[in-house]
Amino acid sequence: MPSQPAEQREPRNLLLAALPDREMQIFRDSGQKISLHEGKILQTASMDEEWLFFPTSAVLSLIAMTKDGLSVETGLVGHEGLVDFPQLFRHRNHTLECMVRHAGEVCQVSAEVVRQARLPTLHRLLLHYAGYRLSELSQTAICNRFHRVRQRVSRWLLTAEDRIATREIDFTHEMMSAMVGARRPVVSSVIRQMEDEGLIEYRRGSLAITNRAALEQAACECYGILSTAMTEYLTIFPLGEG
């Protein structure tokens, strides 16, 4: 996905930055900027609160859960989008939770405030974003079902670097196994192999991609498909990724 170098990216949410002053004033009056640490749970199926989260520098993970506690990631949300989109339509997803995957800030606002306000520009932008999210959801399902763990890990790492405003990715083997739906020993073996090949550099708690071109070769076609979908989505913003 074409993007500015991480160290040059201004921490802001693209959806909010694209709003005219009249619509943005609603978020200034009703929203609040909050800092989040990695691993914090923002939403669970049992929560009654209705909040929307617009990441500026944080990266949020949408995770599907089973009754037995098994989990797999269905989407990764950065400064291009928001969580929780279904709340705008008074729909609660009873299998999804939202976790902070990379520490940073979000703009938090009540879903009820956004539902009641007249926000034609935001609503138009959200229709485009919904199209991308549907593409991400379906492609992630294909990836987790049919592709090898090495391919899935590569796809996830590339996507995470695209979303994160620094080169360091918050990372643990346990987290990765949950994200790609694979057993921890298998994920650990894949990570060690990638380190040996010089694709990544892993230090306890964080990871950096050191050979992106090779990692793209290791990923399945899902990364390219989703990158194209993201690029198409970003064309709705006058200055691309801002």
Helix-strand-coil percent breakdown of the chain, rounded to 5? 45, 20, 30
Asked if residues 75 and 137 have their Cβ atoms less than 8 Å apart, the reply is yes
For all residues of the chain together, what is the average pLDDT? 89
Overall average pLDDT of the 130-158 stretch: 95
68 pLDDT band (50/70/90 cuts)? confident
User: Residue 15: which residues within 8 A CB-CB, separation 6 or more?
Assistant: 54, 80, 81, 82, 122, 125, 126, 129
10 pLDDT band (50/70/90 cuts)? low
Overall average pLDDT of the 65-80 stretch: 89
Overall average pLDDT of the 158-179 stretch: 88
> What residues form DSSP beta bridges with 98?
43, 62
User: Residue 26: which residues within 8 A CB-CB, separation 6 or more?
Assistant: 113, 114, 117, 119
The reported pLDDT for the residue numbered 11 is 65
Alpha-helical runs (H) found in 31-172: 111-116, 120-146, 149-163
Overall average pLDDT of the 47-60 stretch: 89
**More confident of the two residues 213 and 8:** 213
Tens-place pLDDT, residues 88-128: 777 766 678 899 999 999 999 999 999 999 999 999 999 99
Q: Which two tokens stand for residue 41?
A: 């749970």
147 pLDDT band (50/70/90 cuts)? very high
Please provide residue 57's backbone torsions phi and psi, each rounded to the nearest 5 degrees. -125, -15
Least confident piece of the model among 5-14, 22-31, 41-50, 121-130: 5-14
Q: Which conformational region is residue 90 in: left (phi greater than 0), alpha (psi within -120 to 50 degrees), or beta?
A: left
The Cα–Cα gap between 223 and 229 comes to 10
pLDDT at 3 over 70: no
pLDDT at 203 over 90: no
